[in-house]
Homo-oligomer: A and B are copies of this chain.
Amino acid sequence: MLKNLQNHINKNLAFLNESKILIAISGGIDSVVLTHLCHQLKLNIALAHCNFHLRGEESNGDEESVKQLAEQLGLEVFVQNFDTENYAKTNKQSIQIAARELRYNWFEDLANQLEFDYILTAHHVDDNLETFLINFTRGTGLEGLTGIPEVNTIFVRPLLPFSSEAIEHYAKVNTIAWRDDRSNASTKYVRNKLRHNLIPILKEINPSLLQSFQTTLSNLNDTTDLVKDSVDNLLSKAIVSQDDDKTVFKISEFKSLRNPKAYLFEVFKDYGFTEWNDVLNLLDAESGKQLFSATYRLIKNREHLLLSEINNETEENILISKEEKQIESPFGLLFFDEADAIFGKRTEVIYVDADTLEYPLILRKWEDGDFFHPLGMSGKKKISKYLKDEKLSLLDKEQVWVLCSNNAIVWVVNRRADNRFKVTENTKNILKITLQ
Using CB atoms and an 8 Å cutoff, list the residues of chain A in contact with chain B.
136-142, 145, 190, 193-194, 197-198, 201-202, 204-206, 209, 211-213, 215-216, 219-220, 222-223, 225-231, 233, 257-259, 261-263, 265-266
Partner of A230, one of B204, B215, B229, B259: B229
Q: Which residues of B contact A212 (CB under 8 A)?
A: 137-139
Residues of B within 8 A of A197 (CB): 201
Q: Are A263 and B141 touching (Cβ within 8 A)?
A: no
Q: From A139, A198, A220, A263, name the one whose CB has the most chain B CB atoms within 10 angstroms.
A: A139
Determine whether the beta carbon of B193 is less than 8 Å from that of A142. Answer: no
Distance between A431 CB and nearest chain B CB, rounded to angstroms: 58
Is there contact, CB below 8 Å, between B233 and A205?
no
A227 touches B223 (CB 8 A): yes
- Whether B139 and A222, one on each chain, are in contact in the complex, defined by CB atoms closer than 8 angstroms, is no
Contact of A222 among B216, B219, B265 (CB under 8 A): B265
Besides A139-B213, A226-B259, A233-B233, 5 more A-B contacts (Cβ < 8 Å) are A137-B206, A138-B206, A141-B223, A142-B220, A228-B258
Listed residue (A137, A233, A257) with the most chain B CB atoms within 10 angstroms of its CB: A137
Q: List residues of chain B with CB within 8 A of the CB of A228.
A: 258
Name which residue of chain B comes closest to A219, CB basis.
Answer: B141
Query: How many copies of the chain does the oligomer comprise?
Result: 2
**Which residue of the partner chain B has the closest CB to A196?**
B201
Which residue of B is nearest A198, CB measured? B201
Instruction: Give the distance in Å from the alpha carbon of A223 to the alpha carbon of B209 in the complex.
Output: 25
Chain B residues whose C-beta falls within 8 Å of the C-beta of A223 in the assembled complex: 141-142, 223, 227, 262
Task: Give the residues in chain B near A266, CB-CB below 8 Å.
Answer: 226
Complex Cα gap A197–B205 (Å):
12
CA distance A68 to B202 in the complex (A): 41
A229 CB contacts on chain B under 8 angstroms: 230, 233, 257-258
A141–B220 CB distance below 8 A: yes
Q: Which residue of B is nearest A189, CB measured? A: B205
Name A214's closest neighbour in chain B (CB-CB). Answer: B139
Q: Using Cβ atoms and an 8 Å threshold, which residues of chain B touch A193?
A: 201, 204-205
Contacts of A259 in B (CB 8 A): 222, 225-226
CB A223 to nearest CB in B, in angstroms, measures 5
Q: Nearest Cβ distance between residue A324 and chain B, in whole angstroms? A: 55
Q: In the bound complex, what is the Cα–Cα distance between A206 and B136 (angstroms)?
A: 10
Tell me if A202 and B198 are in contact (CB < 8 A): yes
How many angstroms between the C-alpha atoms of A201 and B191 in the bound complex? Answer: 12
In the complex formed, the residue of B with least CB distance to A265 is: B222
User: How far does the alpha carbon of A263 sit from the alpha carbon of B206 in the complex, in Å?
Assistant: 28
Q: Whole-angstrom distance between the alpha carbons of A25 and B412 in the complex?
A: 74
Task: Determine if B137 and A202 form an interchain contact, defined as CB atoms under 8 angstroms apart.
Answer: yes
Chain B residue at minimum C-beta to C-beta distance from A212: B139
Complex alpha-carbon distance, A134 and B351, angstroms: 77
Those 8 A-B pairs whose CB atoms lie nearest each other, nearest first:
A139-B212, A141-B219, A222-B262, A225-B259, A139-B215, A226-B230, A230-B230, A137-B206
* Chain B neighbourhood of A205, CB < 8 A: 137, 190, 193-194
Residues on B with C-beta less than 8 A from A222 are 141, 259, 261-262, 265
* Measured CA separation A201–B226 after assembly (Å): 34
Give the Cβ gap from A270 to chain B, nearest Cβ, in Å. Answer: 15
**Do A226 and B227 touch across chains, with their CB atoms under 8 A apart?**
yes
Q: How far is the CA of A164 from the CA of B400 in the complex (A)?
A: 58
For the complex formed, measure the closest distance between the CB of A198 and the CB atoms of chain B, giving whole angstroms. Answer: 5
* Min CB gap A12→B, angstroms: 15
Q: Which residues of B contact A233 (CB under 8 A)?
A: 229-230, 233
